[in-house]
Chains A and B, each alone.
Chain A
Amino acid sequence: MGDSKNEWELLVPLVPFLLVAPSLKFLAGWESVEAAFLIVVVPLLTFPAILVVGQIYNGNETWKQRYKEGGIFGLGALSLSLSIAIWIIYDYVVGSAHFEAHSVVDPFSWLTFDVIEQTGTQWEVSTGFADIGVGVWIDSVTLMLLFVATFLCFLICWFSLGYMNTDKINEDSNHRFYGEFVLFAIGMFGMVLADNFLWLFIFWEIMGLCSYLLIGFYYWKDSAAYAAKKAFLTTRVGDVFLVVGLLMLYDIYGSLDFAVLFDNPSTGVGGAVVESGELNWALIMLFIGAVGKSAQFPLHVWLPDAMEGPTPVSALIHAATMVNAGLYLVVRMVPFVDVHVNGVAGLEEFALTVAWIGGITAFMAAAIAFVQNDIKKVLAYSTMSQLAYIFTGLGAGLLFLNIDEHHAGYFVIGASMFHLFNHAMAKGMLFMASGSVIHEVHHAHDHVRELSEKYSTNEGDDHGDFDPQDMRNMGGLAARMPVTATAMMLGSMSIIGIPLIGGFWSKEGIIAETWAACLHEEPLMLVPAVLVLATAGMTGFYMTRMWLMTFAGPPKSEVVGHVHETTPWIKEPLIILSVITALGGFALALLGASDYLGDPHHAELSYHGLLDTLEHAFLPEDSYLRLVGWTTMLLAMVIGPVIASRIHGGRLIDGVEASPLVSWLVDLSSRFGSQDVSELADSQLAEALQRRLYFDDLYEVALAKTAIPFAAFSAWFDANVIDGVIKQIESNSATGSVQIRRITTGSARDYILMAAVGMISIFALLWGVSN
């Protein structure tokens, strides 16, 4: 590997990008919000540049070594976006800028058109015209998501420099990767900043496109091409409903601007009172769009297959950012529901739908994660499950808000958003760590194969079925990959909800408030409440299982002995995210992040006091909250991990050392004894879980029964009816012209005869008419 000093020199081109934000602030005197458009515009200019330059210099050594096939430019643009995002966040959180509930900058109108209205029997141009502007919408949720998006895009792009550019298979196509990566970043940043639903939808679709392109990055692999199509088409189902929902919203309010919609959601276009009936359906339609994007039941089937893409893509798009778009959309619906400030009452069905879908997905995904052996598939199901937690929390929050329990409502919506933050950080990091594992195992396998080719006469040595993502080929990696093992440990702890780390601070709130909604308000919340509580324990099991299968116990294949954690640029982003995962949740909990994110009237972060925060988390006054909290902790921290340890735990082989904390955990896992579960693994339940509860098969059959016959019928209709008509006309005129040609004899006498006959008939006709 190249010496590390040289590697850092490559980052020198980033310096001008990083200087833009400070120079705008101090030299040009801009407000941070005025620079917000650069977050989107700079990547927008960078992505075609990477693609074009990459195509021209494809294969060039300098381009490869020095500019990492465009990775450096992508990283530069993303670092600029990150720096401006941090500047904005600083201004709003610490500095001078404030928003009442939000703040809007509207630099220019993008699209204006007259609206024609029917008045009586006449169609008239109405006095008000539709005006769709391009603006920036900033509130606490925007700030949080903006940080998540820009920060993770930057870190994962950095990680990609190490992950993508050191694999032979990616050589000469990395500019495609970075181009699409940056295009994705445009979609995500734009969606977060958009100030109306139309722009939100446009950027939403850009992300969908990039997801498709990047899942199909290895398009020559059938499985990848299939997965890309599946992801695109499945999310498309949701998007159709999303468009319907947007049209319904426009019908009710006559605008899609957040400012208009959120200002007074109970008053529709022309001052009409908004009834809950149509709005309920509009919101459910939008929610179906969110379900598709965030891979929730029943549109969840695409996410596990999406892991066919390169690991940085899985980390960024399918774990940390794009799948949060659905959550963001649901959070944007809070003002419609919030009866405390002008919301529309009677939307409980919508809230319950959200909570139920969340609860079902959380449980189902966690159950399927039990039996997955592919390290990325476990994480994919974990992502689904955790997103479903957030949906459940949002559902409970919407329910509270709709019946004017706004304290509880704001709290749980804030907790959900806080969980989004914790989950994005932890899951982005877990995916990068899994990428690190896969990458190093893959390289070790290449190494082993080289050795065996050198020393063995057996030429046909078949390594073709070795899968570097299969955890059954790993084990004992804790000693070989100390940084990755620690990072993955912290990420798993955050996802499980081990006290004081990351996700604990938010997950507790979601579960407790879901139970509160069930016990105090709405008995129908019982199902989601039970499911999320059970999922807490299941999360403990499958995350521990994944970590133990990968890092603990004796090595399960000879490849493990050759793994070295040496690829440049992979460790640094992991370390940064590990710190944030480990400490960020705690720090933000101390600052009251849940209140900040949920409550529109609580627009500041302030220090809450260590003891207060701890007391609030561990010993809440309400006795049932305490019970739910401690049950969650018991399930997630003790029962799940202990069962996982009994099945998969085990010491490292003698003579190898891991870092103290990691080796303590590994030793701990070996103390719970071992349990043989082969009987259970052969059961029908395990088989059903392996087959993902037959959802894929079901959809396949449903498609085979409906869509394919319909397509066949359409093809038949096209070939026989539409083409048939045209072909019939054509063949008839051909035969007709042959007939007509026979009377053009070319003989002058025949023509004279025809003229005479014609004339005589005309005379006869006239004669007949005149008589």
Chain B
Amino acid sequence: MIEASWIAGLGVILFSIGLLGAFTRKNAIVVLMCIEVMLNAANLNFVAGASHYSDVDGWVFTAIAIAIAAAEVAIGLAILLSLYSTQETISLEEANLLRN
């Protein structure tokens, strides 16, 4: 059995990769993917906690989080589609209507 702290450490690394990607990438789809990575880093932490404490709550949270992430991705992609249909780009550099 792997130590829970190793799994949590992996979660931190995954989260950092996701966060860095979300900061630096211009492509909205990649940013969305990075967000998914961060979400899954959190899920991994839940799973690690659940196995460490032998508590089923962590599994349940993870299952719910995955379901919600699926819905969120659907919405995110729909937003990107409509962004593309109006702005003809999915670059986050150019989608700045809320500026100032």
Which of A744, A749, A756 lies in contact with B99, CB distance below 8 A? A744
B1 located at the interface, meaning its Cβ lies under 8 Å from any Cβ of chain A in the complex: no
B contact residues, total (Cβ < 8 Å): 14
Contact of B98 with A744 in the complex, beta carbons under 8 Å:
yes
* A741 partner residues in chain B, CB cutoff 8 A: 100
* A753 partner residues in chain B, CB cutoff 8 A: 23
Contact of B22 with A745 in the complex, beta carbons under 8 Å:
no
Q: Which of B42-93 contact A (CB under 8 A)?
A: 92-93
Contact of B23 with A747 in the complex, beta carbons under 8 Å:
no
Contact of B22 with A747 in the complex, beta carbons under 8 Å:
no
B21-49: CB near A (< 8 Å → 1, else 0) gives 01110001001000000000000000000
Tell me the bound Cα distance from A139 to B5 in angstroms.
107
Q: Which of A734-771 contact B (CB under 8 A)?
A: 741-742, 744-749, 752-753, 756
Contact of B23 with A748 in the complex, beta carbons under 8 Å:
no
Contact of A747 with B96 in the complex, beta carbons under 8 Å:
yes
Tell me the bound Cα distance from A746 to B95 in angstroms.
8
* A749 partner residues in chain B, CB cutoff 8 A: 22-24, 31, 92
CB distance from B36 to the nearest CB of A (A): 14
A contact residues, total (Cβ < 8 Å): 11
* A752 partner residues in chain B, CB cutoff 8 A: 19, 22-23
Tell me the bound Cα distance from A563 to B38 in angstroms.
111
Tell me the bound Cα distance from A747 to B28 in angstroms.
11
* B31 partner residues in chain A, CB cutoff 8 A: 748-749
Which of B24, B28, B99 lies in contact with A745, CB distance below 8 A? B99
Contact of B92 with A748 in the complex, beta carbons under 8 Å:
yes
Contact of A748 with B95 in the complex, beta carbons under 8 Å:
yes
Tell me the bound Cα distance from A756 to B31 in angstroms.
14
* B92 partner residues in chain A, CB cutoff 8 A: 747-749
* A746 partner residues in chain B, CB cutoff 8 A: 95-100
Tell me the bound Cα distance from A623 to B31 in angstroms.
123
List the B residue with the shortest CB-CB distance to A742.
B100
Tell me the bound Cα distance from A742 to B97 in angstroms.
14
List the B residue with the shortest CB-CB distance to A747.
B96
Tell me the bound Cα distance from A742 to B99 in angstroms.
9
Contact of A745 with B23 in the complex, beta carbons under 8 Å:
no
Contact of A745 with B96 in the complex, beta carbons under 8 Å:
yes
Tell me the bound Cα distance from A153 to B28 in angstroms.
93
A43-78: CB near B (< 8 Å → 1, else 0) gives 000000000000000000000000000000000000
Tell me the bound Cα distance from A756 to B35 in angstroms.
12
* B96 partner residues in chain A, CB cutoff 8 A: 745-747
List the B residue with the shortest CB-CB distance to A751.
B98
Tell me the bound Cα distance from A742 to B31 in angstroms.
24
* B99 partner residues in chain A, CB cutoff 8 A: 744-747
Tell me the bound Cα distance from A518 to B97 in angstroms.
97
List the B residue with the shortest CB-CB distance to A753.
B23
CB distance from A14 to the nearest CB of B (A): 79
* A747 partner residues in chain B, CB cutoff 8 A: 92-93, 96, 99
Tell me the bound Cα distance from A170 to B92 in angstroms.
81
Tell me the bound Cα distance from A745 to B99 in angstroms.
4
CB distance from A754 to the nearest CB of B (A): 11
Tell me the bound Cα distance from A749 to B35 in angstroms.
12
* A748 partner residues in chain B, CB cutoff 8 A: 28, 31, 92, 95
Tell me the bound Cα distance from A744 to B99 in angstroms.
6
CB distance from A745 to the nearest CB of B (A): 6
Tell me the bound Cα distance from A560 to B96 in angstroms.
94
CB distance from A759 to the nearest CB of B (A): 10
List the A residue with the shortest CB-CB distance to B94.
A747
List the A residue with the shortest CB-CB distance to B28.
A748
Contact of A756 with B95 in the complex, beta carbons under 8 Å:
no
CB distance from B58 to the nearest CB of A (A): 20
Tell me the bound Cα distance from A752 to B96 in angstroms.
14
List the A residue with the shortest CB-CB distance to B95.
A748
Tell me the bound Cα distance from A752 to B34 in angstroms.
12
Pick from A741, A744, A746 the residue with the most CB of B within 10 Å. Answer: A746
Tell me the bound Cα distance from A747 to B98 in angstroms.
8
20 more A-B contacts (CB under 8 A) besides A745-B99, A746-B95, A747-B99? A742-B100, A744-B99, A746-B96, A746-B97, A746-B99, A746-B100, A747-B92, A747-B93, A747-B96, A748-B28, A748-B31, A748-B92, A749-B22, A749-B92, A752-B19, A752-B22, A752-B23, A753-B23, A756-B19, A756-B23
The 4 closest A-B pairs by CB, nearest first: A746-B99, A746-B96, A746-B98, A741-B100
Sample (28) of A-B pairs whose CB atoms are under 8 Å apart: A741-B100, A742-B100, A744-B98, A745-B96, A745-B99, A745-B100, A746-B95, A746-B96, A746-B97, A746-B98, A746-B99, A747-B92, A747-B93, A747-B96, A747-B99, A748-B28, A748-B31, A748-B92, A748-B95, A749-B23, A749-B24, A749-B31, A749-B92, A752-B19, A752-B22, A752-B23, A756-B19, A756-B23
Instruction: Enumerate chain B interface residues (CB-CB to A < 8 A).
Output: 19, 22-24, 28, 31, 92-93, 95-100
